Each structure stands twice: as structure tokens, then as C-alpha cells.
Amino acid sequence: MMGPAHSLSGAAAWLGVGAATAAAGHPMPWPVLLVGALICAGAALAPDLDHKAATISRAFGPVSRWLCEIVDKLSYAVYKATKKQGDPRRSGGHRTLTHTWLWAVLIGAGSSVVAVVGDRWGVLAILFVHMVLAIEGLLWRAARGSSSDVLVWLLAATSAWILAGTLDTTPGGADWLFTAPGQEYLWLGLPVVLGALVHDIGDALTVSGCPILWPVPVGRKRWYPVGPPKFLRFRAGSWVELKVLMPAFMVLGGVGCAAALNVI
């Protein structure tokens, strides 16, 4: 799928989690719902750091372009080192390592460690990165073009500062889910994991499929392209994505938000 659809699906997924926790009798404070949805929307773009034309590879200027080259080479090296006889030849690392459940768990765990060890500056860094990606993904028309990069970064930095302050002052905000001393913001890794997994599931619906299960082998392939039957798949950017899935994500996100806030 394309960036906007990935971001919408990520936000909708976290709002769905909020609805589920509310139904279970443990509703999220509204700042947790908001911040989690934005982080999840941003994290849903992160697996495409292995593709130089992806939103995330352009979002942070030379820094993200440099990281893209490293991640692409690393992904390709891991693919060559672990592929089985049935896996096809490849010339690059796109849709390999960063599109697996293991990568999603690792970056989520890493985000939690940064949030806990880095204290406020670690939290701000996580929020800033994902706010940039969320703005680029959800407001893609307004954020399009290199001339808007600085404005996006300023908006993301301001948003990160305000949201961190709001979480700090909201009961159950910083210590949502993990309440032991020293575990504040440990939960920030959860929307990161969810966003990456939602991205992988979205790509699995497209023609190429997605090797979500790696390194678990399936038959003669270790990089098995998980997906529905081929007649149910679609091409990225096709009318199915633009006219069916994106409106559906918007509706599901709205319903999930209303349920999470006990409006319905």
C-alpha cells in the first residue's frame, strides 16, 4: 500500500485498541489514545525505510536518505544469508527484513528502551520522529514537496513538546499500563510494534505479498510472501486502496475513537 493508506490503517488500529480497552472496563486516557494513534500512524510508514522513494526515506532529509541506504543494504545482506532454495533472486532489500514480525518487535522494544532510559529527551525524540511521519502520512497533500520539510519538522517538534507535557500532567498518561516506578512511557513501544505490523498486513494484501513470518520457513521458502489468494490482492495505489480501503480506515477509526471515549 501507499503511505497515506498505511498511516490511516495505523491510526485506525490504535483507536481500535482503545475501543477494546474501553469495552474491557479499562479505558485509555484521551492523551494516550491521541498520542498512540499518532505514533501508530507514523510507525506504519517505518518499514519502508528500505525503499529510497518511500515517505520515511525522504522525511528527514539527508539523514533518512543515508539510513535508507544502510537499511536497504542490511536487508539485502540478511536476505542472501538466510534465503532457502525456493526463495527468488533479488537485487535489493525492499520488503524483506523490515517487513517481518521480528523487526516490528525489535523496533518496538527499542523504542520502549529509549523512552525509559532517555527519560524526557528520549520520549521527545520518539514523539518527534513519529509526529513527522504521521504528518507526512495523514496530511500528505499539505506536506508534499521539499519546501514544506522545515514546516513539518517545526510542527512535529511543537506537537511533541505539547503532547509530552500533556501526558506528564494527565493521571494514567505517562504510566499507562505499566505503573511500577521507572516504567513511565514503557508503553510507547506498543503503538510502534502495532504500526509496523499493520504496515506488513497491508502490504500482504497487495500483489507481491509480504514475508511477515520470517525467519520461520514455509515449505521451501524462508521469505514466504504471506497474502490472501491472488484474486483478492490488488496493486499499491489502485482504486481498491484509494476508493475502498482508505474510506474504510477513516470510518473504522472514527468508530473506534467514539467507542474508546465512550461516546457510543
pLDDT in the model for residue 150: 86
CA distance 147 to 192: 28
87 φ/ψ angles, rounded to the nearest 5 degrees: -75, 140
Contact status, residue 33 vs residue 22, Cβ threshold 8 Å: no
Can you name the residues that pair with 53 across neighbouring β-strands? none
Q: Tell me: the pLDDT tens digits for 129-155? A: 999 999 999 987 555 655 578 889 999
- The mean pLDDT value of the chain amounts to 93
Amino acid sitting at position 94: H
Give pTM, 2 decimals.
0.94
Q: Please state the rounded mean pLDDT for residues 3-12.
A: 94
pLDDT in the model for residue 177: 92
CA distance 100 to 82: 14
CA distance 193 to 176: 17
Integer CA distances (angstroms), 47 to 2, 176, 222, in order: 12, 26, 19
Contact status, residue 39 vs residue 33, Cβ threshold 8 Å: no
pLDDT in the model for residue 62: 92
Q: Please state the rounded mean pLDDT for residues 43-53.
A: 94
Closest residue by Cα to residue 115 from 186, 165, 168: 186
CA distance 79 to 82: 5
* Residues sharing a CB contact under 8 Å with residue 135, sequence separation 6 or more, in sequence order: 143, 152, 155, 156
List, as one string, the DSSP characters of 15-72: HHHHHHHHHTT-PPPHHHHHHHHHHHHHHTTGGGGG-TTSHHHHHTTHHHHHHHHHHH
pLDDT in the model for residue 141: 59
pLDDT in the model for residue 116: 94
Q: Tell me: the pLDDT tens digits for 183-207? A: 999 999 999 999 999 999 999 999 9
3-state secondary structure of 253: helix
Give the range with max mean pLDDT: 26-30, 89-93, 234-238: 26-30
Contact status, residue 144 vs residue 135, Cβ threshold 8 Å: no
pLDDT in the model for residue 83: 95
Q: Tell me: the pLDDT tens digits for 161-180? A: 999 999 999 999 999 999 89
Place of cell 471515549: 261
CB-count burial class (<10 Å; 0-12, 13-18, 19+) for 15: buried
Helix axes 30-43, 149-169, angle to 10 degrees: 150
